[in-house]
Amino acid sequence: MTAKTAIGQVIENTYTTRQKPAVIIVGGGSAGAALAARLSEDASRHVLLLEAGPDFSTDNYPPALTSAASVAPATFDWQYTSDDKANLGHDIPTPRGKVVGGSSAVNGTVAIRARPSDFTRWSARGIEGWSWDDVLPVFKALENCPTGDTQWHGRSGPLPIRQRTMEELSPSTRAFIESAQAVGLATVEDFNAARTDGVGPYPLNVVDGVRVNTGMAYLTAAARSRPNLTILADAHVDRVILENKRATGVVLATGEVLSGAQVILCAGTFGSPAILMRSGIGPAEHLQSLDIPVVADLPVGVKLLDHPIYYNVYALKPTLSAMLPAAGALVWTRSKNAEADELDLQISATHFFDPANSPTGAAIVLASALVLPHSIGSLQLVSRDPEVAPRIRYNFLDAPSDLERMTEVVRLTRAIAASPPFANVVDSELFPGPGVTDEQLREHIHANVSTYAHPTSTVPMGADNDPAAVVDAWGEVRGIEGLRVVDASILPELPSVPTNLTTIMLAERIAAHLNA
């Protein structure tokens, strides 16, 4: 059966034997899977979930997706690359999951909440309903975490979160933590509790070595058995159908039309703005340059935020060659110029590295990141053809303070690496290598900066009087009825953490709002 025939069969089943869907959700990733599960809990609401990639039942995901020892398998990736040669001298691969579960199925499994100060910055924009007091109960309710203080943790939510212990880590990761402590960093027992400034093992959505994505956690066998939930895989959405500024359905890239009473875009920070712009919602001048009729002149794609990252890689001594578990430990601290209560620097210790590329057959990566950058990127269409990738420009290190802070965190990384006991487990530095002096670091960072793969804010939420906002506090697109966006693209500010847990929380909270 061809993909088009399969889509046609679902259309026939959905629109002939049932009523028109109350909600069409576009994208089955971190937000979309959670939203579909929650909205379909109302038996009177028919939910149609569309995913451009494949779909797997909860217990049938392939090892490339369930293994927590690897990230971003090419088979399940959109294969996007940024357009940054003009400002950085190189483009940057931008991995995004293309499967039910989305990027939660291909990421590094880090499960850390955004900090209270991150949400304070939301409130400073006049956005109501997203204070720390508003979101903490949602974070707790979505997780099942058997350890940690119940002041901070939930026990019975759909997403399993497990706090790594020192005993579980590889010898080199334990040495990294001990060396970070030796250079003066405090010990953090739980990055989802009150104290987060220091070094400690990661909390992860991993159980027995299995990456538990939102497709597994939310779209369980029980959820899939609901007669009011339909999941359609291999359904790439071109645009939203708009009639008199009201969303009435979507058009697939194959040309099929799916009608619905409401459309919610959960296609991610790159996918959702691209769909909006192909639908005529975006900056008027940009749309007109592609002969797209303008329905709503809104600043879609004007702002793209992400965490710049730089990789130090060390070959391990043959006697200390263990590389599991892959995701191990984190340093989270502040730069010398950080604002009050900001933690703007991270160092992630992982084994996400092909051991064949190490002369000893084993390596550890110390990835240095700036998690509160000032540089702003953008996203635009290259073509109105949905099969053509958008133009992604990170514009990393454009703000001078970003390069200064990136240099500061890389120097901290190298200081930790040079200290025992970590220095005693290292055979050699593979990258940047001993030929790069401390004085050359700035130039080397600029030439090799990459992405932490936490893009946000291309469809930002905001208060009614905020000219930079595309959606309101509950994801509703300005001036368009029946159309919402619910994913990381609507975050008004970049959280100072990996974004997966915050994105799931966002979907949970907006689902509760819609179910109220």
| Nearest of 232, 304, 243 to residue 274 by alpha carbon | 304
374 among known catalytic residues: no
Contacts made by residues 7-15, CB under 8 angstroms, sequence distance 24+: 7/232, 7/234, 7/235, 7/252, 7/254, 7/256, 8/256, 10/230, 10/232, 11/256, 11/258, 13/230, 14/48, 14/230, 14/258, 15/259
Q: What interhelical angle do 30-39 and 500-515 show, nearest 10?
A: 20
Output the six-digit token pair for 371. Answer: 């998690």
* Measured distance CA(46)–CA(126) in Å, rounded: 34
Q: Are residues 160 and 147 in contact, defined by beta-carbon separation less than 8 angstroms?
A: no
Q: Is 15 annotated as a binding residue?
A: no
Q: Is 110 annotated as a binding residue?
A: yes
DSSP symbol at 114: P
Strand partners, 377: 304
What type of residue is 118? D
Q: Are strands 281-282 and 257-259 parallel, antiparallel or unpaired?
A: unpaired
**Angle at the Cα of 170 (from 169 to 174), degrees rounded to 5?**
70
Output the six-digit token pair for 116. Answer: 């209270």
Q: For 328-347, what is the HEC assignment? A: EEEEEECCCCCCCCCCCEEE
| Nearest of 408, 407, 426 to residue 418 by alpha carbon | 426
Strand partners, 211: 206
State whether the Cα torsion 22-18-27-327 is positive or negative.
positive
Q: Are residues 110 and 211 in contact, defined by beta-carbon separation less than 8 angstroms?
A: no
Q: CA distances (Å), 502 to each of 65, 190, 306, 456, 487, in order?
A: 21, 17, 14, 11, 10
Q: Is 23 annotated as a binding residue?
A: no
Q: Is 452 annotated as a binding residue?
A: yes
| Cα first-last separation, the chain | 41
Q: Is 436 annotated as a binding residue?
A: no
Q: Is 99 annotated as a binding residue?
A: yes
| Nearest of 335, 346, 342, 402 to residue 369 by alpha carbon | 346
Q: Name the 3-class secondary structure at 448.
A: helix
Residue from 236, 444, 454, 513 carrying the catalytic annotation: 454
Q: Which residues are annotated as a binding site for substrate?
A: 452
- Catalytic residues, which ones? 454
Annotated binding-site members for FAD: 99, 107-110, 237
* Residues that constitute the known binding site: 99, 107-110, 237, 452
